[in-house]
């Protein structure tokens, strides 16, 4: 079995966009609507000379009150269980939300290597969110733009270090 990395984080941070970029195909649905329930997706990712399996956690029902639903927790926990390492994604433009902190708890409790990814950082827009993300205790954020393909060599370095 190849090294498996799960992409986790609250809805709308760009997990599926990152998944599609790594897999090189639009296997995952990208949607402006947060919290639309979709299936977990798996694909073979390639980044430079790294090859690994990647899991996109989708189906994260954001409850009306913004609380974590059982389904969100279940899917994230399943993906974490299957993974050798995690990419924990935040929206660096939005800054940290309570939901980010809740998902970060899952990531920390997993006791697996975590790469903190500050997405939507194109054109230096994500500086504030990236700084805030240090508070998650998941290490240094890797600033990327999954949509524009920026920061992928930094992501390569972070992943290569743990594979
Ligand atoms: P997910 O819910 O975490 O899977 O997020 P999606 O991949 O569906 O993306 C949610 C929204 O963020 C979509 O409108 C994407 O086009 C947008 N998005 C994803 N990556 C980036 C990025 O790097 N920069 C910006 N500005 N928007 C992004
Ligand atoms: Mg998605």
| Contact (CB, 8 A) for 22 and 46 | yes
| Structural domains in the chain (count) | 1
With both helix axes pointing from N to C terminus, report the angle between 98-109 and 70-82 in degrees, rounded to the nearest 10: 40
Can you say how many angstroms the Cα of residue 47 is from the centroid of all Cα atoms in its chain? 15
- Residue 93, SS3 per DSSP: coil
pLDDT at 73: 72
Show the low-confidence residues of the chain (pLDDT under 70).
1, 26-40, 58-72
**How much distance in Å is there from the Cα of 24 to the middle of ligand 1?**
16
pLDDT at 37: 42
Against a cut of 0.95, is the pTM above it? no
**Residue-range definition of the domain harbouring residue 125:** 4-160
| Contact (CB, 8 A) for 121 and 151 | yes
Residues within 6 Å of ligand 1 by CB: 11-17, 30-32, 119-120, 122, 145-148
The interface predicted TM-score (ipTM) is 0.99
Residue 55 Cα distances to 14, 102, 124, 156, angstroms: 13, 20, 28, 17
Ligand 1, atom 26: closest residue by C-alpha:
120
pLDDT at 22: 96
Q: What is the CATH number of the domain that holds 107?
A: 3.40.50.300
């Amino acid at each position: 079995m190849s090294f498996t990395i799960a992409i986790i984080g609250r809805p709308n941070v760009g997990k599926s966009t990152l998944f599609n970029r790594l897999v090189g195909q639009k296997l995952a649905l990208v949607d402006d609507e947060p919290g639309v329930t979709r299936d977990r997706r798996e694909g073979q990712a390639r980044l430079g000379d790294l090859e690994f399996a990647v899991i996109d956690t989708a189906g994260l029902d954001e409850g009306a009150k913004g609380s974590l639903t059982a389904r969100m927790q279940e899917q994230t926990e399943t993906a974490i269980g299957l993974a050798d390492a995690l990419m924990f994604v935040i929206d660096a433009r939005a800054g940290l939300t309570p939901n980010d902190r809740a998902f970060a708890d899952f990531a920390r409790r997993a006791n697996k290597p975590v790469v903190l990814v500050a997405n939507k950082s194109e054109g230096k827009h994500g500086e504030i969110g990236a700084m805030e993300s240090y508070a998650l205790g998941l290490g240094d954020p890797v600033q990327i733009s999954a949509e524009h393909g920026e920061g992928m060599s930094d992501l390569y370095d972070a992943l290569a270090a743990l594979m």
